[in-house]
Amino acid sequence: MTPRKRAISTAALLAIYLAVVFLLPRPETIKPEGWRLLGLFAATIAGLVLQPIPGGALVLIAVGLASLIAGLPMATALSGFADPVVWLVLTAFFISSALLKTGIARRIALQFVRLFGRTTLGVCYSLGFTDLVLGFIIPSAGARSGGVVLPIVRSVAQLYGSEPGPTAALLGSFLMAGVYQAICVTSATLLTAQASNAIAAKMAAQFLHYPIDWLGWFRAGIVPGLISLAVIPWVVYRLYPPQIRRTPEASDFARRQLVEMGPMAVPEYIVCVVFAGVCSAWILTRLDASLPALLGCSVLLVTGVLKWSDVTRDHAAWDVFIWYGGLFEMARALGDAGITKAFANAVGTSLAAYGPTTLFVVALMVYYFAHYGFASITAHTLAMYPAFAAVMLAKGVPPGLAAFSLACFGNLCAGLTHYGTTPAPMFFAQGYVPLGTWWRIGIVTSMVNLAIWSTVGFAWWKYLGIW
């Protein structure tokens, strides 16, 4: 970003803060320091989109200002960094580094392509389910895409001479669009498949009094998630059909790559054992989810699969730790200040004529399509989840239904645009899919996902007793 753009973005954040604090009417139930915290929070969320400086640095500044101008004691402002959920995300990043470092993640992807990649649609399914498997432990869709999935998509496309431009439609265009849409579904299916899911789970407990653990999210998401993963690539295939339908060379390519990788080495076996052990502990025990992740990370460090230098160099993990812990505490403080309750009361009054069902549908659609205005699932969740959860709870929407709808739909909506979440610009920047086509596919697949998750998903959640 140029100095001029940085100055403009910074001025915009200051303007947002001043507009909230001095132009928006403050309810009598909210103290002035609470209102200043709201202004600071709004400016911080906008900053995550505009990025005048990196997000972690921005949040660190906001944490200090929250204590200085919004009345939060420093011990409180910093308490988000001690939350077990924040450490779950951090340690999961470290384990994911081992998956990438040892090559086991790439080996998993190539095995899927080898087995199911003899058709173009099969390649798309292979990489979609690769992302699902990796989502059990890698909490960054960007890391899964950039480190494993996207390089294989590009390799398969080039294998058939499909490059950006005149040859893009051979099969590269379909794979870029189809695999990206599958990644959005994966992010909604598992708590550990997207960093902001842990935020949503924590907010469900705070604002809806409905705690969500790893197993609970898995049970809720796996049925509609698998159906979406089966349907969405086929929908993209029909909307944007590739010219090459059969791809035996892709399967052969994967087989050759696996031969070149050679047999699994000891570090890969260790990572597999840790992977299986952590996931088994999440499924079979009632331990806090951060504990198995921390123990798994400890095993990797003791065995030398991960070096301490790997941990200290994992800039993405520490960046997430900073902005995640800081924003989490700011969002909690907004609830304590009565901001979300005041918003819920205001919206509830304006929609007083509507019953719980109508309000739920309208609010969910507004929440979903508001993602056109966000370049981050995390920013969307932090900005809107607490307020919409409070509205739904106040109007009598079942807490479990509200909790999982807001959490899961907040991931699915990332498929709308070419900037909806971190992998979106990665895939779009390859140059295979025109902007208009990307958005057209996004709106159609979004409607299909909405149909699946609001019918099969809601019915499944009813069966599980979630609502």
Interval 171-210: pLDDT, tens: 999 999 999 999 999 999 999 898 889 889 988 998 899 9
**Cα(first)–Cα(last) distance of the chain, in Å?**
47
Q: Which of 316, 348, 374 is the last residue of a domain?
A: 316
All residue ranges of the chain with pLDDT < 50 are none
Determine the number of helices (DSSP H) and then strands (DSSP E) in the chain.
Answer: 24, 0
Torsion sign over Cα 273, 279, 281, 284:
negative
Assigned token pair, 45: 């969320």
Q: Cα(139)–Cα(90) distance, rounded to whole angstroms?
A: 9
Separation between Cα atoms, residue 445 and residue 423, nearest integer Å: 17
Long-range contacts of 119-123 (CB under 8 A, 24+ apart): 119/245, 119/246, 119/247, 120/171, 120/174, 120/175, 120/237, 120/242, 120/244, 120/245, 120/246, 120/247, 121/233, 121/234, 121/237, 121/245, 122/247, 123/156, 123/171, 123/175, 123/247, 123/250
Q: Which of 303, 334, 365 is the last residue of a domain?
A: 334
At position 66, the amino acid (one-letter code) is A
Q: Report the b/e string of 83-101 with b at 16+ CB within 10 A.
A: bebbbbbbbbbbbbbbbbb
Sign of CA dihedral 403, 406, 409, 411: negative
Q: Alpha-carbon distance 102 to 271, whole Å?
A: 8
Please report whether residue 8 resides in a domain: yes
Do residues 109 and 209 share a domain? yes
pLDDT at position 187: 94
In the 8-state DSSP scheme, what is residue 246? B
**Per the domain annotation, does 404 fall within a domain?**
no
Q: Is the domain of 62 the same as that of 173?
A: no
Q: Are residues 41 and 137 in the same domain?
A: no
- Based on the fold, state whether residues 53 and 98 are members of the same structural domain: no
Amino acid 337 reads A
Domain total of the chain = 2
**What count of residues does the chain have?**
467
Q: Identify the domain containing residue 43 by its residue range.
A: 1-77+318-334
Mark which of 256, 281, 316 sits at the end of a domain.
316
Does residue 95 share a domain with residue 49? no
* 3 state SS of 119: strand
Phi, psi angle pair for 119, to nearest 5°: -130, 160
pLDDT digits (tens, 9 = 90+) for 361-413: 988 998 899 888 777 788 788 878 888 888 888 888 999 999 999 999 999 99
> Within this chain, do residues 282 and 180 fall inside the same structural domain, yes or no?
yes
The pLDDT value given to residue 347: 66
| 424: Cα separation from own chain's centroid | 12
Q: Are residues 303 and 225 in the same domain?
A: yes
**Residue 450: per-residue pLDDT:** 96
Q: Does residue 110 sit within a domain?
A: yes
Centre a 10 Å sphere on the Cβ of residue 24 and count the other Cβ atoms it contains.
12
Asked if residue 172 and residue 219 are part of one domain, the reply reads yes
The C-alpha R_g of the chain, in whole angstroms, comes to 22
- Distance CA(184)–CA(225), nearest Å, equals 10
Q: What percent of the chain has pLDDT over 90?
A: 43
455, part of any domain = no
145 and 291, same domain (yes or no): yes
- Residue pair 413/446 in contact by the 8 Å Cβ criterion: yes
- In a domain, residue 424? The reply is no
- pLDDT of amino acid 413: 94
Q: What is the DSSP string of 346-407?
A: HHHHHTTTS-HHHHHHHHHHHHHHGGGG-S-HHHHHHHHHHHHHHHHHHTT--HHHHHHHHH
Residues 183 and 97 in one domain: yes
Q: Measure the CA–CA gap between 140 and 142, rounded to whole angstroms.
A: 5
